[in-house]
Amino acid sequence: CLWGEDMFIDQCLGRVLKVKRVLMNNLLTEEHCDPPEDWDTCEDKSSIAFHPFKKLATYSQCLNTTTDGRKDADKFADNNETG
């Protein structure tokens, strides 16, 4: 399958599970959808998700920002290191 995880979940939800799509533009900040210049700082409290982060270091930084550095976030990042 040549799809990334975002296309896979979109197709699975829509075509397979028949989940109705409800467009809410303010929930996801997506690099490919004209985000604000500093989107990848993950400091915008009006978004609940930021996409994509291809490197563990930038993902971990975003995770720490959005969770205010809580220990459970650090534990998740530590357990999911892939390089």
Contact 44, 65 (CB under 8 A): no
Q: Write the single-letter amino acid at 42.
A: C
Q: Write the single-letter amino acid at 82.
A: T
Query: Chain-centre distance of CA 49, in angstroms?
Result: 5
Tokens read off for 32: 């490919």
| Model confidence pLDDT, tens digit, residues 31-71 | 988 999 999 999 998 899 999 998 999 999 999 999 887 76
Question: Residue 29: what pLDDT?
Answer: 93
pTM of the model as a whole: 0.64
